[in-house]
Structure formats: structure tokens, C-alpha cells
Amino acid sequence: MVGAPGIYKLAWTGSIWTEQTLYSFGYVSGCDPVGGLIFDASGNIYGTTNGCGSNNGGTVFEYILTPPQFKVLYNLPTPGSGCSPFCGSLGKLAMDAAGNLYGTVASGGAYGGGSVFKLAPENGGWTDTSLHDFGGQGDSDGAFPWCTLVIDAHGNLYGTTDQGGIYNDGVIFEITH
């Protein structure tokens, strides 16, 4: 039975699956890790949380398997006004061939409708870049990207928003580099 939000490992031990807790989340490391996990070529795990962290907007994290180590790579920005405490990242991260991480924030950003961000590894740390800030409800570019981004062979990003667009039912967007 799964307990508190965390990172778990299931191992086949001959006749049954056994569960091992690799990491349990707390307020500083982030709450509500709903976005799913990705792995790099070394097997390290990356993901996001939807709340808590130093800005109460969630976190981007890395879990290194050997030796076991958890790192908060980035504290997502403070949620937009009127948003509940859990308005951070809801989608899974995407990683390109260079090891850059891409994700979405469900609310906030320059106009309140969420944003798309890039984290680039640099000098032992991570540099964040905002790639797009969504306008908000009723705006043509969409609002509230609760999605997992997809990267094509040329490095273009694709995703969806929950609201905005012509009928306020969301949009499909592309961000080119």
C-alpha cells in the first residue's frame, strides 16, 4: 500500500512485488507530485510537484539513484492570484538531447494564465528561462497549460491549454526555438 507522496520502486522478488520508498516529499521539496516522472540516460529521475517549495508554486526535482540523493533543481514561481495553493506543474517534464528540461506551470506567469519554462544545466546548477506566458481566460493564445509537453526532432515544443482560444475550451500550441 502506498503511503505519503513519494518516489517508490517496485521490485520482483521471485514470487511477489515488493515496494521500496526511495524518497518522501515534504513542504520544502514540494507537495502533490502528480506530473509523472522521466529518466535521463544514466537512470536519474526527474519530476515536478504541484505545490509547496520555497515559493508555494511547486518544484522541479531530480532523484539520483547511485548514490541515492534528492535535489530540488528549481522552485517554481508563486501561483497566480485567486489560485489555490496547488497551481504549479501538473504535466510531466520533457527532456531534449542536450539535457534541458521543459515544463509548464498551470497558473501565474506574467499575465496569470500559466507559462512554459526551460531549465538548462549550467556550471553545476540550472538556469531557468520563461519561453511563453499565457494571457489568461479568453485570450487567443490559451490559458492554464496543465499538459505534458512533447518535443519534435527539431526541438519545437507542443502542448495544450485548458482554457482560452476562440471558444474558451483551450488551444493546441507550438513553441519554436
pLDDT at 28 over 60: yes
Looking at residue 53, what is its pLDDT?
Answer: 92
Note the Cα 19 to chain centre separation in Å: 25
User: With contact defined as beta carbons under 8 Å apart, do 90 and 106 qualify?
Assistant: yes
> Average pLDDT over the chain, rounded to whole?
89
50-70, pLDDT tens digit by residue?
989 998 889 999 999 999 999
Angle CA(128)–CA(132)–CA(134) in degrees, nearest 5? 130
Percent of residues, the chain, with pLDDT higher than 90? 65
Domain chopping of the chain, boundaries: 21-175
Share of the chain above pLDDT 70, in %: 92
Give the model confidence (pLDDT) of 56-112 as tens digits: 889 999 999 999 999 999 999 887 666 665 578 889 999 999 999 999 998 888 888
